[in-house]
Amino acid sequence: MHELILTGGQVHDGFGNPPVTADVAVSGGRVTAVGTGLGPARRTLDADGLVVAPGFLDPHSHSDAVPFLPEAQPFKLYQGVTTEIVGNCGFTMAPTDPATAGLAPISIGARTFATFGDYLDAAEAAGPSNHLAALVGHNTLRLAAAGMARELPPGALERMCALAEEAFEAGAVGLSSGLEYVPGAYAGRAELIALARVARRHGGVYATHSRSESEGLAGALDEAIDVARAAGIRLQVSHCKASGRAVHGGSALILGKLAAARRQGVDVRGDLYPYQAFCTGLAAMLPPEAWEGGVEAMRARLADPATRAALRATAEDPANGTSVGLWREVHPEDVQILEHTDPAVAGLRLAQVLDGREPWDALCDLLIADPHAYAVCHTMHEDDVLAIMADPLIAIGSDSGEPYGPNHPRTFGTFPRFLGRYVRERKVTGLAEAIRKVTSATATQFGLTDRGWLGPGAAADLVAFDPDTIGHAGGYDNPSVRPTGVVHVLLEGEPVLTGGEFGGLRRGRVIRPGRR
């Protein structure tokens, strides 16, 4: 007798093949059969009229600290996501040194851990609501070994590699970098290659928020591809975008470089979120040299008129190429302040808070007051979003944050929005291919070989959704609206969402290579 059968759904295998009308039987956390006449089960779930697919995998999230929240968090289950890849953009909760952990402009949680294994163990014990697999972050490794120094002191790279080795032995699935952020922006290619080779020895992937997604886009992609080629490692280009008016139309460049790299033997793929705005710290607008020495050093530089003016000249000079901050990428009307210690400015555009100041001066004053302020930046053209989204090398990822406070709608609606607005309504791609983009395309790239597909022997992470109603109505003013259309979600055979309702249990776990 099977433990559970999903009955009568349109079953997609996750590889892009046409669906079949069938039942799906589950026992022992695995799919045991797909077909008809499968025999009795202790429990059945009706999937008539629904699409049954492998649970969705999010290749790019920032849910590292979510397991430690006091209540179970179903915001990804409501989207059909059963596994998230955390530790993106180079920032992770481990390994950290207490003396340097607070120096960076980006923070992903109040807690930090001395070793990566400590973090994974704690996340597992706390109980995720869905599965997590974790990358180890280059920025965090650099902070632990060298703080906010631009030049690595003797022995620091060896220390970073040793910390990375420990992280992979503990269960990291790859290395991430965030080269638009400090201290990662200070790294050269040799440093990145050395760390990527550690990841390669453990079968990991290199996922990069590249050095520029705007006017330095071409060089940044070349650098990422060169690092992957030199290290012999799979490459994931995070949240592919042509950001800023100067590079609208740049989707062809991105896709052309990815395709050319694959022809030359580099196993490269990318991901994208289905929105025209990104979300990041206001501090990312500054050139990297503004941050040398940490938060207080940055504040002092911005408070000094001469230094502030010199930093502006650096940020606005196109001859400086990549890694000079995001300032040239945005216009004041593009920048929507999402979170700031001054509630009077939260929700406003930078253009609305100038009070007679130059935009650069307003930005600097905002950062002096709150170095950890966040903003949504409306910088992408939909034609580029559509072109990147349709390409077979691109998976769908959310770049989501934690599910509270001011937020970007991608945290709550990425996958239903993709399947509703862009697949059902805009027909950017067919449904079978769309399901591949949210399942096996990510599972394969991150080495999660028993997930992302549906067939006997696969992990029974499953989603059943209504293709006619799946979607998300949330926007930038109301991001946390609950999505529609996801009916059932199973984690390793255990129903955690039935009839669209969350059961309240933390059934997720931390997935580590070599451990089921």
Domain co-membership, 312 together with 339: yes
Helix axis angle, 295-303 relative to 305-316, nearest 10°? 100
Residue range 361-372, pLDDT digits in tens: 999 999 999 999
Domain co-membership, 169 together with 191: yes
Domain co-membership, 96 together with 49: no
The pLDDT, as a whole number, for residue 514 is: 65
Q: Is 326 a residue whose pLDDT tops 90?
A: no
Q: Are strands 486-491 and 462-465 parallel, antiparallel or unpaired?
A: antiparallel
List alpha helices for 290-409, DSSP H: 295-303, 305-316, 359-369, 382-390
Domain co-membership, 39 together with 75: no
Mean pLDDT score across all residues of the chain: 95
CA 293 – CA 8 distance, rounded (Å): 60
Owner of token pair 């593009």: 334
CA angle 190, 194, 199 (to 5 degrees): 140
The full DSSP string for 268-293 is EEEEE-S-SEEEEEGGGGS-GGGGTT
Amino acid identity, position 110: A
- Please report whether residue 492 resides in a domain: yes
Residue range 34-71, pLDDT digits in tens: 999 999 999 999 999 999 999 999 999 999 999 999 99
The full DSSP string for 399-432 is -B--SSSS--THHHHHHHHIIIIIIIIS-SS-HH
Domain co-membership, 94 together with 198: yes
The pLDDT, as a whole number, for residue 322 is: 54
CA 130 – CA 303 distance, rounded (Å): 44
Domain co-membership, 329 together with 225: no
Amino acid identity, position 317: D
Domain boundary among 378, 401, 433: 378
Average pLDDT score over residue span 90-117? 87
Domain co-membership, 315 together with 353: yes
The pLDDT, as a whole number, for residue 293 is: 86
Measured from the Cβ of residue 260, the count of other Cβ atoms closer than 10 Å reads 13
Query: What confidence tier does 108 reach under pLDDT thresholds 50, 70, 90?
Result: confident
The pLDDT, as a whole number, for residue 323 is: 57
Give the phi and the psi of residue 190 in degrees, each rounded to 5: -60, -40
Domain boundary among 322, 353, 378: 378
> Please, which residues have CB within 8 angstroms of residue 96's CB and are 6 or more apart in sequence?
112, 113, 114, 140, 143, 144
Which residues form the domain of 83?
56-281+379-445
The pLDDT, as a whole number, for residue 343 is: 92
Query: Domains in the chain: how many in total?
Result: 3
Residue range 302-315, pLDDT digits in tens: 999 999 999 999 99
Q: Is 32 a residue whose pLDDT tops 80?
A: yes
Q: What is the side-by-side strand order in the sheet with 277-281?
A: 277-281, 374-378, 335-339
The pLDDT, as a whole number, for residue 324 is: 65
Domain boundary among 351, 378, 405: 378
Average pLDDT score over residue span 98-119? 85
Residue range 441-477, pLDDT digits in tens: 999 999 999 999 999 999 999 999 999 999 999 999 9
Domain co-membership, 299 together with 254: no
Q: Please report, for the domain that includes residue 264, its CATH number.
A: 3.20.20.140
Residue range 374-430, pLDDT digits in tens: 999 999 999 999 999 999 999 999 999 999 888 999 999 999 999 999 999 999 999
Q: Please, what is the end-to-end C-alpha distance for the chain in angstroms?
A: 23
Domain co-membership, 194 together with 259: yes
Measured from the Cβ of residue 100, the count of other Cβ atoms closer than 10 Å reads 19
The pLDDT, as a whole number, for residue 103 is: 81
Domain co-membership, 268 together with 294: no
Contacts of 350-356 with CB under 8 Å at 24 or more apart are: 350/375
Query: What confidence tier does 17 reach under pLDDT thresholds 50, 70, 90?
Result: very high
- Please report whether residue 512 resides in a domain: no
- Please report whether residue 120 resides in a domain: yes
- Please report whether residue 479 resides in a domain: no
Q: Could you tell me if 208 and 177 are in contact, meaning their C-beta atoms sit under 8 angstroms apart?
A: yes
- Please report whether residue 235 resides in a domain: yes
- Please report whether residue 472 resides in a domain: no
Owner of token pair 């995720």: 128
The pLDDT, as a whole number, for residue 515 is: 62
- Please report whether residue 514 resides in a domain: no
Q: Is 254 a residue whose pLDDT tops 80?
A: yes
Q: Is 321 a residue whose pLDDT tops 70?
A: no
Domain co-membership, 134 together with 188: yes
Domain co-membership, 93 together with 112: yes
- Please report whether residue 478 resides in a domain: no
What radius of gyration, in Å, describes the C-alpha atoms of the chain? 22
Q: Please report, for the domain that includes residue 48, its CATH number.
A: 2.30.40.10
Give the phi and the psi of residue 67 in degrees, each rounded to 5: -60, -25
Q: Is 318 a residue whose pLDDT tops 60?
A: yes
Structure tokens at 285: 């607008």
The pLDDT, as a whole number, for residue 294 is: 87
Q: What pTM did the predictor assign?
A: 0.96
The pLDDT, as a whole number, for residue 105 is: 72
Q: Could you tell me if 63 and 84 are in contact, meaning their C-beta atoms sit under 8 angstroms apart?
A: yes
Q: Could you tell me if 482 and 80 are in contact, meaning their C-beta atoms sit under 8 angstroms apart?
A: no
